[in-house]
Structure 1
Amino acid sequence: MIVINAQQLDNFVWLNEFDYLPVAEQTERALNGAQHIEKTPIPQGRPIYLYSDFEDASVFTPLHEHAQTTLTSFEITIRGTVFNVVWDHSQKAVEAVPHTHFSDSAPTHFQNVNLRLKTV
């Protein structure tokens, strides 16, 4: 289960959970040809991409508003693990497509919902 801002996101999945390496590495050669390898853990900045195929507007709208108004860090919970994150405003933090377009009325459902966050 994923929880953001006390809102349960039952249909979301963590797309890039296993597509992250929390280690930086730099390799160079000495003048005698010996290889020097330096490694260090990367404690912050892990991207977290959450995705849902289809959501009701009552789920999407609060998330969209939260991303527009929350510029500081906050906590999310993914399967019991708490992460301290910020919305990733270097790209579209929240993205979705209205399921059906109606003239002059608000959409009731959204599809291809993407939430982009990063740890701090």
Structure 2
Amino acid sequence: MLLGTIELPDDLLWIDEFDWNPVAQEIDRTLTGGLIIQEQPKLYGRPVTLSGENNSGWVTRATVNQVVTLSESANSTLSLTLPDSRVLSVIFDRANGSITAQPLFYSSNPALDDYYSITIRLLTVI
């Protein structure tokens, strides 16, 4: 899996892949009680949350630092290449906290090769 040029483990899970509905819907009532339903396809904005579990998707602190640095650039569209070869254009989902990472083993002086469980929150664009 690649986010831009950063290699991520293929066992990071896209945990909200099937939570997306590509159709926006608004339901309203008229004053006479009639029902008005409006639907329109969503053009983009599908959430892509990549998350490691207890036994998968671990990254090094060095990789966490790379992803954090990448997230600090405003208005950057990135290419996300999934393990099944799908390629998505994405941006960081800043409204929901772009990145969280927890060390697997706590240390007062973490090294760059220490492992972390990471969650990366993205949104599709284009």
Which TM-score band (shorter chain)?
0.7 to 0.9
Find the counterpart in structure 2 of residue 76 from structure 1. Answer: 80
Instruction: Give the C-alpha shift of residue 24 in structure 1.
Output: 1.2
How high is the sequence identity, in percent, across the aligned residues? 25
**Structure-1 separation of matches of 2:52 and 2:29:** 46
Three-state SS of the structure 1 residue aligned to 2:96 is: coil
Find the counterpart in structure 2 of residue 41 from structure 1. Answer: 41
Instruction: Give the C-alpha shift of residue 115 in structure 1.
Output: 0.2
Q: Report the count of equivalent residues.
A: 118
Instruction: Give the C-alpha shift of residue 70 in structure 1.
Output: 5.3
Q: Are residues 104 and 30 of structure 1, via their aligned partners in 2, closer, same or farther at CA, if it must alter by over 3 Å? A: closer
**Structure-1 separation of matches of 2:110 and 2:98:** 24
CA contact 1:75–1:84 (8 Å) conserved in 2: yes
Normalised TM-score (structure 1): 0.81
**Structure-2 separation of matches of 1:69 and 1:13:** 24
Normalised TM-score (structure 2): 0.78
Unaligned runs of 5+ in 2: none
RMSD: 2.1
Mapping of 1:1-120 within 5 angstroms? 2-9=1-8, 10-53=10-53, 54-69=58-73, 71-78=75-82, 79-106=84-111, 108-111=114-117, 113-120=118-125
**Structure-2 separation of matches of 1:94 and 1:71:** 16
Instruction: Give the C-alpha shift of residue 95 in structure 1.
Output: 0.7
Cα distance per residue 1:37-80 (max 9 Å; x no partner): 11001112111100113322343332222112354212112222
CA contact 1:71–1:87 (8 Å) conserved in 2: no
